Chain A
Amino acid sequence: MSSLATTVEPQQESAALSRARYRVTGWRVLRSEWAKLWSLRSTWITLVLGLLFLLVFGLIAAWQFESGGLDEDFDRSTAVDLSLFGVPFAQLALGVLGVLVTAGEYSTGMIRSTLAAVPRRLPVLWSKAGLYGLVALGVGTVGAFVAYLVGNEILSGTEAAQSLSDAGVARSLLGAGLYLGLIGVIGAGLGALLRSVAGGISVLVGALILVPGLTSLLPGSWEDNVSPYLPSAAGESMFALTHDASTLSPGAGLAVFLGWTLLVLAGAAYRLRRNDV
């Protein structure tokens, strides 16, 4: 009996290896996630919505400025400021889609199919966050540039008009695209970390919109020290044209915002590796 067992096992082993026609690779997981992203209607709808927010709000701001419909707070606005008026709205659309990309798999049960196919798990997270980050970066960058180019046409002749070669203009527009791309990554990370669409969206909106308001409750000196490092403020430093003592420089803003992104991704990776699904 024991001699039979020892002769059978090596044969089974070699048979299993020769049968292995297929193989999971990082590149294939990327291709799979790419196909998944575009095979859902919600992706198209939300991306179009994000792009529309960028264009429509940017152009409305430009129009209103040109026709004198904005109040005096905006008197010193530039074409970049006005055309990036839609960024806070677009960040919601793109961030929510990021949450859906990961948390949507948990709410539907798709995650079980996904992780049965890729049981090492982490390649799924990197693929989802990376691919969707690039898509959001693409949409954000295109949206920012188009909003600026069209908005600047509307603003030509006013003191807000700027040339793309003016100091900081191109950097601001690229920064806005990069910010929106990283928002997408953060959304995907939050979705994977919280495994809930509602939870992911709540935390995303809370961190970007509610928390900045709450810092005003802190004592003055704290507020000055904490506020610039919050995700929203650090992110805004990436695409703001002008910076003062109370804000970070674009480079520092990018570094801090990248830090937040990596923090969320690390949490997501930890939970993905450790927890049952």
Chain B
Amino acid sequence: MIEAQLLTKRYGEKTAVDGLDFTVKPGTVTGFLGPNGAGKSTTMRMIVGLDAPTSGSVTVNGRHYAEHRAPLQEVGALLEAKSIHPGRSAYNHLNALALTHGIPRSRVDEVIDLAGLGSVAKRRAGAFSLGMGQRLGIAAALLGDPQTVMLDEPVNGLDPEGVLWIRNLLTSLAAEGRTVFVSSHLMSEMALVADHLIIVGRGRLLADTTVQDLVRQAGGDTVKVATEDPARLRDVLAGPGVDIVGQVGSEELHVTGLTTREIGLKAAEHGIPLFGLSARTVSLEEAFMDLTRDAVEYHGTTTAIDTLGRVA
């Protein structure tokens, strides 16, 4: 359980995290989403006490992280930036962390196997690929058998096999009743694993929602139907929970609340010819983009390039 109350972090003039209020609950995977620079990593660093909040507070299992007797048993964290000494072997790195808590060597071997690092455990961590480094970071996060697992962009640099491994790991950790908090700037990745979503932009909370609710809010599933007689079709389809949008003079209608199958059957029943019938599902990606459009820190500069092209 992670609870943030009015969590704020300022660096001089810049506000990285702006009054965040959220709760991450056990037993589910909670996705922490936002564009680059939204304050996700800063928030995560504050959770494990590496950065001190300017104001507000964040607690883990009811206490500030530093007040726990065995912090690694409360929260296992993979932070975005590399947090290893490249000259030390993976085994020695994990063992040094384990020694601070009295975690037995057998557990070090266990997480090495779990992360699939068995064959490289004695090699210098500096020689690791990005993916191997991520695996080592995850091994370190799991070392204390923590109740809460917090991973910052865990799939970065992983090959497809590694990505699948992370997904399965996250869902199995949540199934064991642990709190799983995962950040990403990719909605598509989150949609596959997360049940709950905390979406931030420019340090502010944009949404604290579930995957289903987000889709529903963003317009849900729309069916596009083209017909010879839109006015009549409109009357035929009208009913409770059905929403139909169309333009005068256009053959097209946008229907929500009915499936393509239902629309096709009703049209046939009333003898209305259809020219087109297609479901358009609002992707999570679109929903996310809508939500964060105003909060994106670094917009692409396509328009500027267009203008330059025209001038030239």
Contact = CB atoms under 8 A, between A and B. Distances in A.
A16 B67 CA distance: 13
A23 B102 contact: yes
B72 A22 contact: yes
B222 interface: no
Interface of B: prevailing SS: loop
A217 B75 CA distance: 56
Contacts, number: 116
Interface string A3-32: 000000100110010011111110011011
Q: Which applies to chain A's interface (DSSP): helix, strand, loop or mixed?
A: helix
A113 interface: yes
A105 interface: yes
A276 B96 contact: no
Contacts of B96: 32-33, 35-36, 39
A258 interface: no
A258 to B, nearest CB: 29
Contacts of A32: 96-97, 99-100
Nearest to A33: B96
B49 A119 contact: yes
A28 B97 contact: no
Given A22-B73, A39-B96, A119 B66 contact: yes
Contacts of A207: none
Interface stretch (B83-91, B163-171, B300-308): B83-91
B61 A23 contact: no
B143 to A, nearest CB: 9
Contact of A108 (B65, B86, B95, B144): B86
A125 B288 CA distance: 44
A23 B92 contact: no
Contacts of A118: 71, 100
B82 A28 contact: no
B92 A35 contact: yes
B50 A22 contact: no
A111 B45 CA distance: 13
Given A20-B73, A119-B48, 11 more contacts: A22-B73, A23-B101, A23-B102, A32-B99, A32-B100, A35-B99, A40-B85, A110-B88, A112-B79, A119-B71, A276-B45
22 contacts: A12-B61, A13-B62, A16-B147, A19-B73, A20-B70, A22-B102, A22-B144, A23-B70, A23-B102, A32-B97, A32-B99, A33-B96, A35-B95, A36-B92, A39-B89, A39-B96, A105-B85, A116-B49, A116-B50, A116-B83, A118-B71, A277-B51
